[in-house]
Amino acid sequence: MSIDGGLRSIFRANLPHFHWQSIESGLTGGGIPDSNACYKGQEFWIEFKKTDRVKIASLKPDQVGWHLRRYRAGGRTFFAVRFRHVGGPRKGEAIDRLLIYRGRDAKELILHGLNVSPALSSEGGPARWDWRAVEALLLGR
């Protein structure tokens, strides 16, 4: 599985009517999210992450700073996190959950990980995630 939990391609497959633009930020400013999308005049930025723990190890301070600056400027940003593990004696049952957090919650997310209440949570893997609810959240409905 990719470092983003396959979320970039999963979102594109399940929201094909959105205009998606991948961002490779090695040549641009630090902290810029993975993707920008637009649909029916609504534009947003989204950072894709994966984790099998409460903390999101790949979440970096420059990403938090970018999301908070964009929020203060009136922008709409999100973190989509795939919380997935195969289960076991210490972890319990297997999980494949999508959690979406608003960018304004970035500081809390880096400090407290998945203990922060998400704007959306959907269970059961990509085929069972509630894509209508995902679309509604991303578009501000």
Per residue of the chain (141 residues), what is the pLDDT tens digit?
Answer: 567 889 999 999 999 999 999 987 665 677 899 899 999 999 999 999 999 999 998 899 999 999 999 999 999 999 999 999 887 777 778 899 999 999 999 999 999 999 999 999 999 999 999 999 999 999 998
The number of residues in the chain equals 141
Task: Establish if 47 belongs to a structural domain.
Answer: no
What is the biggest distance separating any 2 CA atoms in the chain, rounded to whole angstroms? 47
Confidence (pLDDT) at 99: 98
Spatial CA neighbour of 43 closest among 120, 138, 141: 138
Task: Establish if 71 belongs to a structural domain.
Answer: yes
Confidence (pLDDT) at 67: 97
Task: Establish if 81 belongs to a structural domain.
Answer: yes
Give the burial class of 15: count Cβ atoms within 10 A of its Cβ; 0-12 exposed, 13-18 middle, 19 or more buried.
middle
Instruction: Give pTM, 2 decimals.
Output: 0.93
Instruction: List the beta bridge partners of residue 79.
Output: 47, 101
Task: Establish if 102 belongs to a structural domain.
Answer: yes
Spatial CA neighbour of 93 closest among 123, 61, 130, 56: 123
Confidence (pLDDT) at 27: 59
Token duo for residue 37: 């999308």
Boundaries of domain holding 97: 7-37+55-138
Spatial CA neighbour of 108 closest among 71, 139, 74, 136: 71
Task: Establish if 49 belongs to a structural domain.
Answer: no
Task: Establish if 42 belongs to a structural domain.
Answer: no
Task: Establish if 68 belongs to a structural domain.
Answer: yes
Task: Establish if 44 belongs to a structural domain.
Answer: no
In the chain, the number of structural domains is 1
